[in-house]
A = this chain, B = another copy of it.
């Protein structure tokens, strides 16, 4: 297996689903490792990191319980990121070789998989949105709101956050220096939006935090003027496409 995790138990003879336990700082998936399983995070939190050629550790995302991991490797066979536990965590593991057969035998799992994948795509867009802000305090505000939303999804208090990752990891995700993260924390704290105590963050003024997070760049960037301009009128085409063709296409590109 591609990780420092301990196999705990098979859950069922028929189903190749295994529960793994991952200790803090242990690596569940190694970047570049062959794809063998997909995982669903059961408890704890993880970070997905890409080690760039110059040795810089780029954090791509933080994973909360329920998230799907390792699925990216399906199309190229290798893991694009490493996955490291920020605290003790447990995951369900699902062998990739048996994934296909399993999907057919169990439509419920199949649907759940589709949903989870869809969700992961949405989250990826959310990460991009976070990084799109210019000002560093705005980035941090968005990050905190993002974490808060995750807590709410998980049914926990969205006001009290316990950040399991270090400042450097946050800085990496947001694309700023880790000192800047520190400064941005004090900016938000001085403004009375949050109370910060090391990794414990309490959101005091959600509304003002949201307002700050809205600032993207300049004053509206005149983008509001650029209306959709639907032209849309086009000539009909001959009906050559087909299902197999479509299937081939989506594999190809």
The chain A residues found within 8 Å of chain B, CB to CB, are: 3-6, 8-12, 15, 17, 19, 21-27, 40-42, 48, 50-58, 60-61, 64-68, 71-76, 80-81, 84, 88, 90, 92, 94, 100, 103-104, 106-122, 124-125, 127-129, 131-132, 134, 153-154, 172, 175, 177, 214-217, 220-221, 223-224, 226, 228-239, 241-244, 246-253
Contacts and interface: CB of A to CB of B under 8 A. Distances in A.
B117 A73 contact: no
Contacts of A51: 223
Given A223-B56, A237-B19, A72 B118 contact: yes
15 contacts: A4-B230, A5-B232, A6-B236, A9-B236, A11-B243, A12-B242, A25-B229, A51-B223, A54-B216, A61-B128, A92-B241, A106-B247, A117-B121, A121-B124, A127-B128
A27 B242 CA distance: 24
Given A24-B231, A232-B6, A80 B125 contact: yes
A177 to B, nearest CB: 8
Q: Tell me the interface secondary structure of chain A in the complex.
A: mixed
B234 A23 contact: yes
A232 B84 CA distance: 11
B221 A55 contact: yes
A8 B249 CA distance: 19
Given A4-B231, A21-B234, 11 more contacts: A8-B236, A12-B242, A52-B129, A53-B214, A57-B221, A58-B216, A60-B125, A66-B253, A68-B250, A73-B118, A104-B107
A204 B41 CA distance: 45
Nearest to A107: B104
A10 to B, nearest CB: 7
Contacts of A25: 228-231
Contact of A109 (B8, B50, B84, B243): B243
B122 A121 contact: no
A230 B54 contact: no
Given A25-B228, A26-B232, A72-B122, A11 B242 contact: yes
Contacts of A8: 236-237, 239
A80 B122 contact: yes
Nearest to A94: B246
A235 B21 CA distance: 8
